[in-house]
Amino acid sequence: MRRKLAAGNWKMNGTSAALAELEALSAAPADANTDILICPPATLITRAAQVVSDTSVYIGGQDCHAATSGAHTGDIAADMLIDAGASHVILGHSERREDHGERNEDVRTKAQTAWDSGLVTVICVGETLSEREADNTLDIIGGQLAGSIPDAATGENLVVAYEPVWAIGTGKVPTLAQIGDVHDFIRMRLERRFGEGVGRTVPVLYGGSVKPTNATEIFSVSNVDGALVGGASLKAADFQPIIDALAAS
């Protein structure tokens, strides 16, 4: 049985005051089948991990370097995330791919390094609006899955997040049929490459303007095992209804 996962990506948001939101989130009753992950900015990881210690909430990083150490000013190594208290890391987010020119092979190398350090990777895939309009969505997703995920994937070290780039932070949401088509495709590709034993255990999340108002219907779609949430994860009052909807799905 796949675990459900509600993941919050705080991106470049949050100072010490934001830890109060994490306290409120971790104080809510936990669902035995639903995991919660918050990926705050690196400056808050250690304190965030302390806030959620002895709770069901996990803390993750938003990126890590492919190298284990070295002359990489401003970057953070996987072992550093572990040392700070993180258990997960987001890799290949569309904003990293676009803003920093990350290619599939870069994401793949980072993922292997993260796995070697013991981190669970949330690897993101997704198409742009022009790719969607050109009917290239599944070709793009297939290429990203093949190029970004190392061969040693398991249901324990990998989470895949589908984020249509054109829906992130825009308020636009694909139809349920469009979400289902991509999630079913991702599941099929995972099973084909890694076998049913692994392919059926990797959680696949949907991301892209997930809100309390649309979470229930999104979680009703086949092969949607949770969500990777941006802005709506910054406030416990917004994120908790999404978590509750996932737990009830």
The yes-or-no answer on residue 93 being catalytic is yes
- Proportion of the chain above pLDDT 70, given as a percent: 100
Report the Cα–Cα distance between both ends of the chain, in Å, rounded.
14
The yes-or-no answer on residue 163 being catalytic is yes
Range in 41-55, 70-84, 166-180 with the lowest mean pLDDT: 166-180
- pLDDT at res. 67: 98
Mean pLDDT of 54-68: 96
- pLDDT at res. 171: 78
Beta carbons within 8 Å of 72's beta carbon, 6+ residues apart: 65
Write down the catalytic residue from 21, 127, 163, 183: 163
Question: pLDDT band for position 224 (50/70/90)?
Answer: very high
Cβ proximity of 24 and 236 under 8 Å: yes
**Is 56 buried (19+), middle (13-18) or exposed (0-12) by CB count in 10 A?**
middle
pLDDT exceeds cutoff 90 at 104: yes
Question: pLDDT band for position 197 (50/70/90)?
Answer: very high
Write down the catalytic residue from 21, 93, 95, 127: 93
- pLDDT at res. 194: 98
Q: Which two tokens stand for residue 67?
A: 């190298």
pLDDT exceeds cutoff 80 at 1: no
Residue ranges and CATH numbers for the domains of the chain are: 10-248 (3.20.20.70)
pLDDT exceeds cutoff 80 at 169: no
- pLDDT at res. 172: 80
Reference 58, options 67, 71, 49, 50; nearest CA is 49
pLDDT exceeds cutoff 90 at 173: no
- pLDDT at res. 208: 86
pLDDT exceeds cutoff 80 at 238: yes
Mean pLDDT of 124-133: 93
Instruction: Count the neighbouring beta carbons within 10 Å of the beta carbon of residue 155.
Output: 17
Alpha helices in the chain (DSSP H): 19-27, 45-51, 78-84, 94-99, 104-117, 129-133, 137-148, 176-194, 196-199, 215-219, 236-248
pLDDT exceeds cutoff 80 at 108: yes
Average pLDDT, the chain: 96
Distance CA 52, CA 20 (A): 11
Mean pLDDT of 207-233: 95
